[in-house]
């Protein structure tokens, strides 16, 4: 009896330990909703310049408030050039970054690899969409959300099939396969919400133009989508496609296509909520940044395109549709043209675009406080990379690293040292349920920007919360 007890006790202990380890987490331990905002190309100075122009000083944008955890993020990809033997990354070294601008101007990610990392948790080669370095398919956070019964969406101010929204919803060997990517997004994914530009019959000022259907999946898809609003079966090049069943009732779920700004506005107000929303504003590549006279330096001096939603309205419309699911949602919302303005070194339009991005976050913060709460929703605001190596003025023989304020309403001192992406750290702001995990994930340190995470760790946090 004595021997038996001795043998028996440790076994009980082992079983108990196992039970403790595998005990499922309570659902209220993790966020119900996760909202990831990506300012494409938005470095620290893009944020500061916008705050200085709008408010006269840095630190005043919504996501810079005291409630937000402020960190940095390393953006580099696994392979910068897949076709070159020395295309492997040099990573991010705080030591070189501090002293060597040439180092920061080389070995940078593109938006495809960065979005793939942010969405799947894996660094990959530049231009990849949802594939790893071997070309194998990766699982997106949007797909994980659908697997566990949540809703999922992607929203962007540029084309819906552009690198960042594609990197959160599609799988392709190259980001430039727009038509194929849009076909995947519309016909294969289980997304509840897909919103972005790419209107095939209009130009960048929203005026009629020679048709270009590639960003919306080709002319046949577009014709069938616009001819019948409840279409679930498409025939493209004699091949039949059926849209996905997004809610598990074994019936395909048609997209409700909207293009009118009044429809975006109504859904943003919570009226006429469709079951599944495809929103394509009436403009070709982006809402505002590519409108005419883009050499104008002063923000908003050139009249804005009219008859279009802004990113705030698109974000609210997305949240209202996604929030119909009591199990919660994942959504990625991109301010996509901050990058485009930065590539062109357009200081004024960088401020316009970053302000529009900030306005969307402000609207979402209000929405959370009205219809959800910080106890169930996590918001992550970050960038996929910095664009333009934006710095401050030259004083003596030194470039001041921070842009310099010229007071509210005046363009700050903004100097551009690149027309391309850089390997600089980008800002990361986190607020709400589960945000504390980023204190642990930020285990690398930069002397200028402090603790930082890898871009992969943003998706890793989503998978840690939800994949169990
Ligand atoms: Zn870019």
Q: How far is the centre of ligand 1, averaged over its atoms, from the C-alpha of 109 (Å)?
A: 9
Q: How far is the centre of ligand 1, averaged over its atoms, from the C-alpha of 337 (Å)?
A: 9
Q: How far is the centre of ligand 1, averaged over its atoms, from the C-alpha of 42 (Å)?
A: 10
Per-residue pLDDT at 406: 97
Residue 339 has phi, psi (to 5 degrees) of: -60, -45
Q: How far is the centre of ligand 1, averaged over its atoms, from the C-alpha of 350 (Å)?
A: 13
Residue 72: how many CA atoms within 13 Å on its side-chain side?
23
Per-residue pLDDT at 25: 53
How distant is the alpha carbon of residue 252 from its chain centre?
Answer: 27
CATH H-level superfamily of 29-451: Alkaline Phosphatase, subunit A (3.40.720.10)
Q: How far is the centre of ligand 1, averaged over its atoms, from the C-alpha of 384 (Å)?
A: 9
CA distance 217 to 183: 5
Local confidence band at 74 (pLDDT 50, 70, 90 cut-offs)? very high
Q: How far is the centre of ligand 1, averaged over its atoms, from the C-alpha of 170 (Å)?
A: 19
In this structure, of 199-213, 397-411, 445-459, the range with the lowest mean pLDDT score is 397-411
Which pTM was predicted? 0.93
The model's pLDDT over 160-209, given as tens digits with 9 standing for 90+, comes to 999 999 999 999 999 999 999 999 999 999 999 999 999 999 999 999 99
Q: How far is the centre of ligand 1, averaged over its atoms, from the C-alpha of 343 (Å)?
A: 6
Q: How far is the centre of ligand 1, averaged over its atoms, from the C-alpha of 345 (Å)?
A: 12
CA distance 241 to 269: 33
Q: How far is the centre of ligand 1, averaged over its atoms, from the C-alpha of 432 (Å)?
A: 29
Per-residue pLDDT at 307: 96
In this structure, of 33-42, 242-251, 289-298, the range with the lowest mean pLDDT score is 289-298
Q: How far is the centre of ligand 1, averaged over its atoms, from the C-alpha of 138 (Å)?
A: 23
Q: How far is the centre of ligand 1, averaged over its atoms, from the C-alpha of 165 (Å)?
A: 14
Output the CA torsion sign for 194, 196, 201, 206.
positive
Helix axes 311-322, 347-371, angle to 10 degrees: 30
Does the pLDDT value for residue 439 go beyond 50?
Answer: yes
Helix (H, G, I), strand (E, B) or coil at 13: helix
Local confidence band at 116 (pLDDT 50, 70, 90 cut-offs)? very high
Q: How far is the centre of ligand 1, averaged over its atoms, from the C-alpha of 67 (Å)?
A: 30
Per-residue pLDDT at 2: 40
């Amino acid at each position: 009896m004595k021997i038996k007890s001795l043998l028996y006790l440790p076994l009980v202990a082992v079983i108990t330990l196992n039970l403790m380890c595998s005990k499922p987490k309570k659902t209220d331990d993790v966020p119900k909703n996760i909202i990831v905002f990506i300012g494409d190309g938005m470095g620290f100075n893009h944020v500061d310049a916008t705050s200085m122009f709008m408010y006269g000083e840095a630190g005043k944008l919504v996501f810079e408030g005291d409630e937000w955890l402020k960190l940095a993020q390393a953006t580099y990809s696994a392979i910068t050039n897949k076709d070159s033997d020395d295309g492997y990354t040099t990573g991010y070294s705080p030591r070189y970054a501090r002293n060597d601008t040439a180092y920061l101007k080389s070995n940078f990610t593109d938006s495809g690899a960065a979005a793939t990392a942010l969405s799947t948790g894996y660094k990959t080669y530049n231009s990849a969409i949802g594939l790893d370095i071997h070309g194998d398919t990766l699982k997106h956070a949007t797909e994980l959300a659908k697997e566990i019964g949540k809703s999922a969406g992607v929203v962007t101010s540029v084309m819906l099939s552009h690198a960042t929204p594609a990197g959160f919803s599609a799988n392709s060997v190259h980001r430039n396969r727009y038509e194929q990517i849009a076909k995947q997004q519309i016909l294969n994914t289980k997304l509840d919400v897909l919103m972005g530009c790419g209107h095939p019959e209009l130009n960048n000022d929203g005026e009629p133009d020679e048709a270009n259907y590639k960003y919306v999946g080709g002319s046949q898809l577009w014709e069938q989508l616009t001819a019948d609003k409840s279409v679930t079966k498409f025939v493209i090049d004699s091949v039949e496609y059926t849209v996905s069943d997004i809610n598990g009732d074994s019936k395909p779920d048609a997209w409700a296509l909207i293009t009118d700004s009044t429809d975006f506005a109504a859904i943003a107000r919570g009226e006429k909520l469709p079951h599944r929303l495809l929103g394509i504003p009436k403009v070709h590549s982006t809402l505002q940044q590519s409108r005419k006279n883009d050499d104008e330096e002063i923000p908003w001096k050139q009249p804005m395109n009219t008859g279009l939603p802004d990113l705030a309205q698109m974000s609210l419309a997305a949240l209202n549709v996604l929030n119909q699911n009591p199990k919660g949602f994942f959504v990625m919302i991109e301010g996509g043209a901050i990058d485009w303005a930065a590539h062109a070194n357009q200081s004024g339009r960088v401020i316009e675009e970053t302000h529009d991005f900030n306005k969307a976050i402000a609207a979402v913060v209000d929405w959370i406080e009205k219809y959800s709460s910080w106890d169930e929703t996590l918001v992550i605001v970050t960038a996929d990379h910095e664009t333009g190596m934006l710095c401050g003025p030259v004083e003596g023989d030194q470039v001041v690293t921070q842009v310099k304020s010229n007071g509210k309403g005046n363009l700050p001192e903004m100097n551009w040292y690149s027309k391309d992406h850089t390997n600089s750290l980008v800002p990361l702001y986190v607020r709400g349920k589960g945000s504390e995990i980023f204190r642990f994930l930020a285990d690398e340190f930069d002397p200028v920007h402090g603790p930082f995470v890898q871009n992969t760790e943003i998706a890793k946090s989503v998978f840690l919360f939800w994949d169990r």
